[in-house]
């Protein structure tokens, strides 16, 4: 498995995750306004750091595309929602990210059938698929579900419109 982004991006995300507090009230209201009620329920369960990151990604998408359709903004706000399945905090996520660079996918697949910390690591590394399942269950638009699944894939494997995918990926990398 590969790391989820270049080391500089991962370092910025780690340092940002140490800052206490969620998004501002203005950003929270803006985000919830772009989500279905079932999606908003998922978004509010994300960690403070994940919600701040999600708002930054969504605002970055809006900067790149201008006014974006609700499912695109929801895709930006919820692309990492699958991380909920693992229940890992910052230190656990760092460990899982390092594991991703050193363990074969078949090993991670076997961990997903077990219990304990290895299972949580497997769930974290499978967050795109976990997120897509949560979003499908929440009744999200197919584009929102697809982006949750595809956001770590190379562009040639995207099913979403490439202009939208590029805006989402670039904003996520900022």
The pLDDT tens digits for 117-168 are 888 988 888 899 999 999 999 999 999 999 999 998 999 999 999 999 999 9
* CB-CB contact of 159 with 53 (8 Å): no
Give residue 114's pLDDT: 83
- Please state the pTM of the whole predicted model: 0.86
* CB-CB contact of 64 with 27 (8 Å): no
Residue 48 confidence (pLDDT) above 90: yes
> Three-state DSSP class for 60?
helix
Residue 91 confidence (pLDDT) above 90: no
Give residue 2's pLDDT: 46
Q: pLDDT tens digits for 93-129?
A: 888 888 878 888 888 888 888 888 888 988 888 899 9
Calculate ∠ Cα 105-107-108, nearest 5°: 65
Residues in contact with 144: Cβ distance below 8 Å, sequence separation at least 6, in sequence order: 39, 71, 74, 75, 78, 135
Of 3-7, 23-27, 52-56, 68-72, the one with minimum mean pLDDT is 3-7
User: Dihedral through CA 64, CA 70, CA 75, CA 76, nearest 10?
Assistant: 40
Give residue 10's pLDDT: 56
Give residue 142's pLDDT: 97
Residue 13's Cβ-side half-sphere holds a number of Cα atoms within 13 Å equal to 24
What is the rounded average pLDDT for all residues in the chain? 88
Grade residue 15 by pLDDT with cuts at 50, 70 and 90: low
Which ranges of the chain would DSSP assign to H, the alpha helix? 7-17, 25-33, 37-45, 48-65, 70-78, 90-102, 105-111, 116-125, 127-137, 142-150, 162-173
Residue 6 confidence (pLDDT) above 60: no
């Amino acid at each position: 498995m590969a790391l989820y982004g270049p080391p500089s991006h991962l370092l910025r995300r780690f340092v940002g995750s140490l800052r206490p507090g969620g998004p501002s009230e203005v950003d929270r209201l803006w985000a919830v306004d772009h989500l279905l009620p079932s999606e908003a329920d998922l978004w509010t369960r994300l960690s403070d750091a994940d919600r701040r990151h999600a708002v930054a990604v969504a605002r970055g998408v809006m900067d790149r595309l201008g006014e974006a359709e609700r499912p695109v903004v929801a895709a930006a706000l919820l692309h990492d929602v699958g991380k909920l399945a693992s229940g890992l905090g910052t230190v656990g996520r760092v460990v899982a990210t390092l594991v991703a660079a050193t363990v074969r996918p078949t090993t991670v697949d076997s961990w997903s059938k077990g219990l304990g910390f290895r299972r949580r690591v497997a769930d974290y590394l499978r967050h795109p698929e976990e997120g897509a399942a949560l979003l499908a269950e929440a009744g999200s638009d197919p584009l929102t579900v697809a982006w949750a699944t595809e956001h770590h894939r190379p562009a040639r494997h995207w099913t979403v419109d490439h202009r939208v995918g590029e805006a989402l990926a670039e904003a996520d990398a900022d």
